[in-house]
Structure 1
Amino acid sequence: MSSAPSSLPAPLDLLTAVRERRTVDLTRLKPDPIPHAVLLTLLEAANWAPTHGRTEPWRFVVFTGEGRMRLAEVLAGSLVRLKGEEQPDPEVLRTQQARQRLAPVWIAVAAEPAEQPRMPLHEEQWAVACAVQTLMLAARSLGIASKWITNAPSLHPHTREALGFGERASMMGLVYLGYPQGEWPSGERRPIEDKVRWVEGAARGGTAGGAG
């Protein structure tokens, strides 16, 4: 990855960023814009996610400023289709616009396989998931909060088409970014020991037994 611009704050070390990445609610974000150079740094980090066959299937559309209202229109249109209605309710659009304004940056994410794909779709989608996680970790390292949304409107075919993703693409949701208000939120995890089994040394008696 290329070095970060000198204007960026010193990033957290990787393990600290992993432990301290948090989902922050829209209502707890500052309206402050995120500099373009910072967004490029985050996207460049995502671009180095693992990708089987080096297909690099991640695709992003970044919405900032009044561009966020375009995303609001698209999502309102997807909500209409989900409800089986023909025309959007103006109140639905206003609500969606207000929601989009709560975060200074929204990123639409899709997985787009090659025209003649060498890898199954699920592997391409997993690669994109790795790219999103990498982006969110890079964001935390620079003091930026994030959330990955995969609700029905964000995954709807109308959203994919309206945002200009190709026919082969599959929507992977939306990520919003913003600086959090107040102190950085804390989090908890159950002990890793409760979630791991170790297999060490040579197997005896043929196959290993199942979990007890």
Structure 2
Amino acid sequence: MIEDIIEKRRSVFPVQYNDKPISENDIIKILEAANWAPTHKKTEPWRFKVLQEKKLEFGEFLADKYEETTNNFSAFKKNKITQKFEQSACVIAICMKRDEKERLPEWEEIASTAMAVQNMWLVATDLKIGSYWSSPSLIKYADEFFNLAEGEKCLGFFYMGYFDEELPEGKREPIEHKVEWL
């Protein structure tokens, strides 16, 4: 049931991933699920850059950007940036392309892209692929690496990999604490 998959979804971090590669077919399944997210005025704003062969190059690019732009350089942090890309079987840059006519507020297109990522996360969970979305401050430099279209911007990175350990059970406050019936 879909409710079971939703409840099992967790952030699984690159340090938890094993060396098993993710097949192209599974990556396509994950991206196809993203493509079915709700979209106001059918703008379909989600865009993705799949990093497999270039993931290490992109990780180095971000690590170098960190070193160039930070006032508090830490070799540990620079190394941690590259490690995330090394440990991941696949990293997908999550981008959003604004409707050219700007017929709706930007937040709606960002929300639609976030729903696309939720769909990706749920399918990855069903496939037993760990994943998580990170939006580090370094995403503002993504346009220097990727060929982003006009009106397109990077919203973060979706790290993925298989994992061996059991994940903790999820915890949420009861929905009754968050709903007011009128």
Asked whether the 8 Å contact 1:78–1:159 carries over to 2, the reply is no
Asked whether the 8 Å contact 1:14–1:141 carries over to 2, the reply is no
Alignment of 1:46-195 (within 5 A): 46-64=34-52, 66-83=53-70, 95-153=80-138, 155-156=139-140, 158-195=141-178
Q: Does 1:44 align with 2:21?
A: no
Asked whether the 8 Å contact 2:14–2:160 carries over to 1, the reply is no
Flag the structure with higher helix content: 2
The whole-number CA distance in structure 1 between the counterparts of 2:104 and 2:150 is 17
Which structure 2 segments of 5+ residues have no match? none
Asked whether the 8 Å contact 2:15–2:84 carries over to 1, the reply is no
How far did 1:23 drift?
0.6
RMSD across aligned positions (CA) = 2.2
Asked whether the 8 Å contact 1:72–1:93 carries over to 2, the reply is no
Rate the CA distance shift 1:197–1:72 in 2: closer, same or farther, 3 A.
Answer: same
TM-score scaled by length of structure 1: 0.78
| Equivalence for 2:179 | 196
| Equivalence for 1:210 | none
What per-residue deviation string (whole Å, max 9, x for no partner) do you get for residues 150-178 of structure 1?
1111x31x212321112311221011111
The whole-number CA distance in structure 2 between the counterparts of 1:188 and 1:90 is 35
What per-residue deviation string (whole Å, max 9, x for no partner) do you get for residues 3-42 of structure 1?
xxxxxxxxxx311110000011222111211110000000
Rate the CA distance shift 1:148–1:95 in 2: closer, same or farther, 3 A.
Answer: closer
TM-score scaled by length of structure 2: 0.89
How high is the sequence identity, in percent, across the aligned residues? 32
Computing the radius of gyration from Cα coordinates, the structure with the larger value is 1
| Equivalence for 2:15 | 27
